[in-house]
Chains A and B, each alone.
Chain A
Amino acid sequence: MTESLVDELAPCRARSEPILRPGNTNCGGCGMSIGLNMLSRAVGDTPIQMVIPACCGIVTAGAFPSSAYGAPVVASTFASSAAVATGLAHVARLNGERTRVVCWAGDGGTYDIGLATLSAAAERDEDILYICYDNEIYGNTGGQRSSATPLGAVTTTTPAGKSIGKKDILSILVAHRVPYAASVSLAHPEDALRKLRRGLDTRGFAFLHILSPCPTGWKSEPSEGIELIRLAIRSGLFPVVEFAGSGPPAVAVEPDFSREALARYFELQGRFGKAEIDLDEVAASIRDTWARLGRPMPPGDER
């Protein structure tokens, strides 16, 4: 059951301390930094505890004893964030505390090594908010492929471009019938804030998927991250959707399925330089994705 206490966009609840403090080690233009700042605004005065597995997000903190996070954080082993969060959340409930436990994990810790742990926590409907910032690569270890890496992307372990497409993580989580699951656009702050708040206010398991530009891995300009998200959304490549309860998802930002946006999305990123990206093939996969979402594209609507 989803119980949302905040449905409309309320003014920002002030947080005395930002979650991402100065002195962090994120690359310039890192989408994760934007995501953490959004989270900070959404959290307001709700007490939170974060669990961050091995990923760029834990390097962010800097070395002991300093911490660039303005919130208590457990740095967990790579596959374990959802299980460590389970323990923290149980103790908070046992003690009548309203602390919200938030996992902040990369796509490697979510799609790959941590998937069984995540699935089990979702199945148990643990009272946690799990956020995956998806940079489509193993950033921390220098840029290897993950199962979130898209077709054609060059990584250090797919030097000729990845030959298979991206795993549909949101559908996997939705199949668990979690109370709340959504994908988030960092290019639309109102969308991001509303979903982060809803995820924070959900009782039970909430999952958010954030497409997180990574200039280092994507070989893109640090200043163009937001533009890349816009293009991914416009072209239909990244559906910004929300699942709460049964029924079809709500689409927060409608794509216009622009071919031009799609082409531009690939052009702006050096990681797609090697492979011949077949836009027709990508468009077919976008069509398939939207059909699966129950929102079939109108025929011939590929401008």
Chain B
Amino acid sequence: MTVELLSANHSAATAATLAGRANRTGRGFGGGVYPITPQTECIELLCKQEFEKGHVVRVESEHSAMAVCMGFSQAGARSFTASSSNGLAYMVENVFAAGLYRLPIVMMAVNRTLGPPWNIWVDHGDTLLLRDSGWMQLYCEDNQEVLDSILLAYRLAEDPRVLLPAMVCQDAFVLSHTLMQTDVPSQEQVDGFLPPLDLPHRLTDRPVTVGGLDSPHGTEAHRKQHAEAMARVPAVYAECQDAFEEVFGRRPADRVVPYRMEDADVALVSMGTTAATVRVAVDRLREQGVRAGGVRVRMFRPFPERALAEALAGCERVGILDRDISLGHGGVLWSESRGAVPRDALLQGYVLGLGGGDIRPEHIESLFGDLRARDAAAEPEIVEVAG
């Protein structure tokens, strides 16, 4: 283990390289890559790496980037790509295909606003667009978490009880271009954590047609199996946390991360780096005697409804912070989280930080103030943060 000063983009590329090399005793590593701000530095660093048994293919589009990953994965290799925003939107068809083929591909996604008009700053709407694609989704809070999550995602995705692709999401610029001291594990450690991939349904000489026509009942059965694999994720995730801690000496965060929630009567739920800002606001309010708390949803797919409900149990006022907007129905996190909020609690949705609008502790504090002062919940509110 060495400590390096890395951006989240470079953390991701470093993790992918380590994971890729770890499969040199298996069928190798590869994927297709295509640049988009603010993901570019990740694939640039990946393209500089040497692989004993691996190739990074420089393709002509994100659609093909994912298609190349599918080819690598179908043939039994470990596969990685990265994208963001309109790149993810362009990739959608093949993101779904990778999910439906049950291929354990890992993709790093930098959360960026969808355009036009063009805006390169953070917004979670791009990956939330892919929530029904059959992929697991993890949202990160710092660069170390990005690196760790990519390694963890491979172990989770390749587990024979799971066999699902995984998306590791991180906030544009707030993480992608911000340097942090990051613990980089050794190749030996990663080799110990990630055994060679043995994909049970990889293409061999056996004459089968993978992904051809399916009947209505066949599709029902396949979707059910897919849903069951999703349902097994929480338990396998916990095992992966244990294994990770054993090898690397630190424990990856839970799927839902509560902060000072033990006795909280007012709480804000959020994802990504917003949660770190919420923590600062919670500390300030606690100093004033307010029993405030925060909850971070780290895993969005499968959605950790039960864990979220446990974290929010007993809370009287809950605000859901969305850095995305589902035009016509508030924010995505709000609509998904509602069932996990205690029945008698006041629940208010806030959409904020769209298009990279700055989210500071004082903004969060004022939302706590709004939430505490409310008589009743209203429609989700779009909070504009000037300047």
Which residues of A are interface residues toward B (Cβ below 8 A)?
17, 47, 49, 51, 58-59, 61-65, 67, 69-77, 79-80, 83-92, 94-95, 116-117, 119-120, 124
Q: What are 9 A-B pairs at a CB distance below 8 A? A: A49-B75, A58-B212, A58-B213, A63-B215, A79-B93, A83-B63, A84-B74, A91-B72, A116-B61
With contact pairs A84-B70, A88-B75, A88-B203 given, residues A120 and B59 touching in the complex (Cβ less than 8 Å): yes
How distant is the Cα of A59 from the Cα of B209 in the complex, in angstroms? 11
What is the 8 Å Cβ interface bit string for chain B, positions 64-82, against chain A (1 contact, 0 not)?
1101111111111101000
Q: Assess whether A64 is in contact with B63, with CB atoms less than 8 Å apart.
A: no
> Which residues of chain B have C-beta atoms less than 8 A from A116's C-beta?
60-61, 64
With contact pairs A64-B218, A72-B206 given, residues A80 and B67 touching in the complex (Cβ less than 8 Å): yes
**Which stretch in B38-46, B49-57, B170-178, B295-303 binds the other chain?**
B49-57
> Which residues of chain A have C-beta atoms less than 8 A from B63's C-beta?
79-80, 83, 117
Q: Please provide the chain B residues from 212 to 257 with a CB less than 8 Å away from any CB of chain A in the complex.
A: 212-215, 218
Which residues of B are interface residues toward A (Cβ below 8 A)?
27-28, 30-32, 53-55, 57-61, 63-65, 67-77, 79, 93-94, 97, 203-215, 218
Counting from the closest, the 9 A-B pairs by CB-CB distance are A87-B71, A83-B67, A91-B75, A120-B60, A80-B67, A83-B64, A87-B72, A67-B209, A94-B28
Q: Assess whether A88 is in contact with B67, with CB atoms less than 8 Å apart.
A: no
In the complex formed, the residue of A with least CB distance to B97 is A77
> Which residues of chain B have C-beta atoms less than 8 A from A63's C-beta?
212-215, 218
> Which residues of chain B have C-beta atoms less than 8 A from A65's C-beta?
208
> Which residues of chain B have C-beta atoms less than 8 A from A67's C-beta?
207-209, 212
Q: Assess whether A117 is in contact with B210, with CB atoms less than 8 Å apart.
A: no
Known: A76-B70, A91-B71, A94-B30; 15 extra A-B contacts, CB below 8 A, are: A51-B71, A62-B212, A69-B209, A72-B208, A74-B211, A76-B97, A77-B94, A80-B94, A83-B67, A86-B71, A87-B30, A87-B75, A91-B76, A120-B61, A120-B64
In the complex formed, the residue of B with least CB distance to A73 is B209
The distance from the CB of A49 to the nearest CB of chain B, in whole angstroms, is 6
Q: Assess whether B94 is in contact with A90, with CB atoms less than 8 Å apart.
A: no
> Which residues of chain B have C-beta atoms less than 8 A from A61's C-beta?
209, 212-213
The distance from the CB of A116 to the nearest CB of chain B, in whole angstroms, is 6
Looking at the complex, which one of B27, B59, B60, B208 makes contact with A94 (CB distance below 8 Å)? B27
How distant is the Cα of A95 from the Cα of B54 in the complex, in angstroms? 10
Q: Assess whether A86 is in contact with B203, with CB atoms less than 8 Å apart.
A: no
Q: Assess whether B67 is in contact with A74, with CB atoms less than 8 Å apart.
A: no
Looking at the complex, which one of B30, B68, B75, B218 makes contact with A83 (CB distance below 8 Å)? B68
> Which residues of chain B have C-beta atoms less than 8 A from A87's C-beta?
30-32, 57, 67-75, 77, 79
With contact pairs A63-B212, A67-B208, A83-B71 given, residues A49 and B94 touching in the complex (Cβ less than 8 Å): no
Looking at the complex, which one of B32, B73, B204 makes contact with A86 (CB distance below 8 Å)? B32
Looking at the complex, which one of A17, A75, A83, A89 makes contact with B59 (CB distance below 8 Å)? A83
> Which residues of chain A have C-beta atoms less than 8 A from B27's C-beta?
91, 94-95
